[in-house]
Structure 1
Amino acid sequence: MLRHLLCLLAGLFMAALAHAQAEHSLELLREQGRDEIIPRYLLQDPYGRPVSNEDFRGRFQLIAFGYTFCPDVCPTTLVEMASLLKSLGPRAGKLQAIFITVDPERDTGKVLKTYTEFFDARILGLTGSPQLIRRVADNFRIRYARVVNPGNGPYAVDHSAGMTLLGPDGRVLRKYAFGTPTDDILTSLKDLLPER
């Protein structure tokens, strides 16, 4: 019992440390007058229509990368996104939640639509060609790689986790590391999103 408690505390400490480091890194980049992240994308919505970062000018964008076969990190992230949208109430109308696949071969528009709607219909799933996904992931400094299952089962995709918040002007405002408490993200969003 004590061992489990210590492991849990260590995990919470590491998540908090990662979050603090991500925030500190972003602040240093801002102070230096440059952001490492290039907040640009041109992908497709579940109906095959082109969608770019410019389509959401004037709104905040909360962006996560992942894939529908992900066993743990992605569903956890989308549960958090859905919870944030619900908790924001009317303010959620000023925020577009976006889930960008890193597995375009399996994550067709139809698959993404079914997946994201399971969590919240307001979460927009985006896909594209492998080349476009790679370019967008590089722009957002997202690392991902296919991991082959030695048992001949379906492959997995190892990928960076967390969420990126873009402001109404399209610039990066925050990086939320995976494991950041949802209440902390909610407080941050409420501080940024106008009530009306």
Structure 2
Amino acid sequence: MKRRHFCAALTALPFLIGTQHARASSPHTTFDLEPRSINPRYMLIGPQGSAVSNEDFRGRFQLITFGYTFCPDICPTTLVDIAEALKLLGTDAERVQAIFISVDPERDNPQQLATYTAFFDQRIIGLTGSPALVQAAARNFKVRYEKVVGESEDPKNYAVDHSAGIYLLGPESTFIKKFAYATPPASIANDIRQLISSH
């Protein structure tokens, strides 16, 4: 049975830093993926409000994760891990584009995403889009997400239950593998470094 995690309201930034130490106790979705089952395609909106697609990063590896800025645990922990992997890669990180795709287009606009991702690492970009575009991207990557409304009367006070993990695309924008949630940043960096040396 696949497990899914429940993300609640956005918490303070100090909490985001501390989440890197609590990853082992957080529930999350995990599932094995065959390369042929993933269609690594997306067309979304970038930080400047312009269209961004997977084709824009040909020649570079892409590290992609899905989430939303109001997520209190899994998303910030994953972004901390990505930022650490980029740091460990050193100059090889220039061959990598890290991407955070929001599954909450109702609340996550390009400016908000830019501020959020920059907190973790300036090299991570946030992408959003219309609900239809986000759904298409998630469907292509086999990502599951669902809006969860609580008892609050505020229509914007809700959570989004979503799959966890990090997707790695190659320089030709082909799917290589999915790193499960809580994969150590050193393992991510080592895998990417080996791939870079073989290209």
The TM-score range, normalised by the shorter chain, is 0.7 to 0.9
* Letter paired with 2:197: P
1:108 is the counterpart of 2:109: yes
Greater Rg, structure 1 or structure 2? Answer: 1
Give the one of 166, 170, 174 matched to 1:163. Answer: 166
- Secondary structure, aligned partner of 1:193: helix
Q: Aligned ranges for residues 20-59 of structure 1 at < 5 Å?
A: 22=32, 26=33, 29=34, 35-59=36-60
Q: Which 4+ residue blocks in structure 1 deviate beyond 4 angstroms?
A: none
Cα distance in 2, alignment partners of residues 58 and 189 from structure 1: 14
Aligned length: 172
Query: Once the 2 structures are TM-superposed, how far is the Cα of residue 149 of structure 1 from its aligned partner?
Result: 1.4
Query: Once the 2 structures are TM-superposed, how far is the Cα of residue 150 of structure 1 from its aligned partner?
Result: 2.2
TM-score by length of 2: 0.81
* Letter paired with 1:187: N
Q: In the alignment, what sits opposite 2:147?
A: 146
- RMSD between aligned residues: 2.0
* Letter paired with 1:140: F
Query: Once the 2 structures are TM-superposed, how far is the Cα of residue 181 of structure 1 from its aligned partner?
Result: 2.0
Q: Percent identity?
A: 54
Cα distance in 1, alignment partners of residues 135 and 194 from structure 2: 33
Q: In the alignment, what sits opposite 1:6?
A: none
TM-score by length of 1: 0.82
Q: Aligned ranges for residues 2-81 of structure 1 at < 5 Å?
A: 22=32, 26=33, 29=34, 35-81=36-82
1:95 is the counterpart of 2:96: yes
**For structure 1, which runs of at least 5 residues remain unmatched after alignment?**
1-10
Query: Once the 2 structures are TM-superposed, how far is the Cα of residue 132 of structure 1 from its aligned partner?
Result: 0.4
- Greater CA deviation, 184-193 or 73-82? 184-193
Cα distance in 1, alignment partners of residues 163 and 130 from structure 2: 19
Q: Which has the higher helix share?
A: 1
Q: In the alignment, what sits opposite 1:193?
A: 196
Cα distance in 1, alignment partners of residues 182 and 88 from structure 2: 18
Query: Once the 2 structures are TM-superposed, how far is the Cα of residue 164 of structure 1 from its aligned partner?
Result: 0.3
- Secondary structure, aligned partner of 2:197: coil
